[in-house]
Amino acid sequence: MRPSLLFIIAIVIAFSCIEIFSAKAEGGSLRKNGKEVYEARMADWRNRQVVYQVFVDRFVPGSNPKSRQSLYEPPRRLVEWNSQPKKGTFLQEAGVWQHEVDFWGGDLKGLTEKLDYIQSLGANVLYLNPIFLAYTNHKYDATDYFKIDPQYGTEEDFRNLCEQAHKRGMHIVLDGVFNHTGKRMIWFQEAIKNPNSPYRSFFVFDKNIKNGYLGWLDLENHPELNYNNPSVKDIIYRSPNSVVQHYLKQADGWRLDVAFDLGPEVLSELTTAAHKVKPDSYTVGEIYNYPAGWSPALDGVMNMYMSYLMVGLTKGKISGSKAADMIDILVQDGGIEPLLKSWIVLSNHDRPRLKSLFPEIKDRAFIQALQATLPGAPLVYYGEEIGLEGVEDPEQRGPMNWEVASSGKVPEMALTRSLLSIRNSNRALQVGDFARIPTEKLFAFLRYTSSVRETVLVVANPTSEPVTEIIPVRDPWLMDVSPMKDLLGGKSVEVSAGIVTVTVEPKTVQIFIPEIVEGPNYNRYKRVE
């Protein structure tokens, strides 16, 4: 017997009512997570990162430079700290460029002495460019993964750095260059000298390949490791005595160089091995691809997609509404959790410094404000907080100017500290979810948790003219006729029927939070969390 049409209609209506009631009970479609979700995110340091990147050779000069001369045998040379890096000639015999073997003499001891300075900026994670024994100054051509380069110091210096950082509640992330080594790598040299060496199969030799072996980008100085050989996996990450596991006894994570070349299988195995030895360890990959889909092979990525999007927005090449759409789709495709653990990189040792990219500080303030408020971890490349300049390698790897840094009298430093303080003081900006705000010309989004008290509305004007727009706040618990204040000192706005009217000056960002007055008088927020 078939059910009557009226019975079917009644069932449909009943289920619809249940869905409507459930939506109301949960606070609408925006808030689907309970407070325990955000508490768990906050408990995981990998979600709350503010990263400070250091190129050790250029950060703090080592003591007694004359006694260190023996560490820089020709054609390597130790130069004056206040000199600036310049493009050099190619040294045929050494197989490297002169600027790759010019050194400034920075070391781990000097870096350790500057931890308080780094922390004072608002950073809680220190990412070090490679520190292992290598021929060049950048050290992306390792000769022995198991040795700290004596130019930087000793194992004891490294342990002390980690201990001092941990005492301050900071974490250390090392640069793992595991796709390739240097041609002076001890394994590679033995493989060349002895065709029967077990290290021969650590690499791919073929007389038909340029240089006679497989190299990263066909470069002579970067022979690639052969991950088809299980022994390579063992020594890099699978064995308890492997490189990855050995250094996690002191450090907290790995930034994996050219991670896209390692591929998802190797990355997944490496991340699993790291988590096995240290459950809250962190792996972040250098990924220039679309970032969604790299988790759980990696905990996070260097989110170059977000970076390029922000640069395009700041330069007026991407509209505000388009940028909001692109980020919204990214969240849908990859989920918010991996994004929270990913680094937002505006500049680094491979990319132009911000002041060279954006000479006007207003543009830099604009893009840095977005970096501090979008989902992900802001990465500050050393010297950005004092306005160092440089466009191409090696110019953007200049020495830190401690005279300027110590004075504190530069607008970049005040800007950096202010924005990172806002991020570190607002839980929604650290671990909150993301919701795009529909706009015409502006770029706007919401960061939110289970509590309306933590809601942050970000509105940015990427255009060259002032813009006034009426936009929805999208948060059902933002009460009618209640104010929201701008943490960057702009005018407050008033929520009216879930809508605000904002006026934003060109290349300006406004960061709004609800003004909630707790007290004996009438409080519009008294019955919402």
- Residue 237 CB partners (closer than 8 Å, separation 6+): 178, 243, 244, 245, 269, 270, 273, 274
Element (H, E) at 145: strand 142-148
Helix axes 320-334 and 304-314, enclosed angle (nearest 10) = 170
- Residue 410's alpha-carbon distances to 58, 201, 383, 417, in angstroms, are 20, 53, 11, 11
Q: Tokens 């936009």 correspond to what residue? A: 471
Instruction: Output the CA angle 361-362-368, nearest 5 degrees.
Output: 85
Q: Which alpha helices (DSSP H) does 426-465 contain, by range? A: 427-431
CA 318 to chain centre: 22
Q: Distance between CA atoms of 169 and 502, rounded to whole angstroms?
A: 39
Q: Distance between CA atoms of 209 and 288, rounded to whole angstroms?
A: 26
- Phi, then psi, of 432 in degrees rounded to 5: -75, 165
Q: Distance between CA atoms of 175 and 227, rounded to whole angstroms?
A: 19
Burial of 56 (0-12, 13-18, 19+ CB in 10 A): buried
What sign does the dihedral 446-299-334-315 (CA atoms) show? positive
CA 124 to chain centre: 12
Which entry of 141, 149, 286, 454 is annotated as an active-site residue? 286
- Residue 214 CB partners (closer than 8 Å, separation 6+): 203, 204, 206, 223, 224, 226
Q: Distance between CA atoms of 471 and 202, rounded to whole angstroms?
A: 58
Q: Distance between CA atoms of 300 and 334, rounded to whole angstroms?
A: 11
CB burial readout 434-457, b (16+ within 10 A) else e: bbbbebeebbbbbbbbbbbbbbbb
Q: Distance between CA atoms of 231 and 203, rounded to whole angstroms?
A: 11
DSSP class per residue in 175-241: EE--SB--TT-HHHHHHHH-TTSGGGGGS-B-TTSGGGB-BGGG-TT-BBP-TTSHHHHIIIIISTT
Q: For this structure, is 286 an active site residue?
A: yes
Q: For this structure, is 107 an active site residue?
A: no
Which entry of 57, 257, 412, 469 is annotated as an active-site residue? 257
Instruction: Output the CA angle 180-181-184, nearest 5 degrees.
Output: 150
CA 289 to chain centre: 15
Which residues participate in catalysis according to the annotation?
257, 286
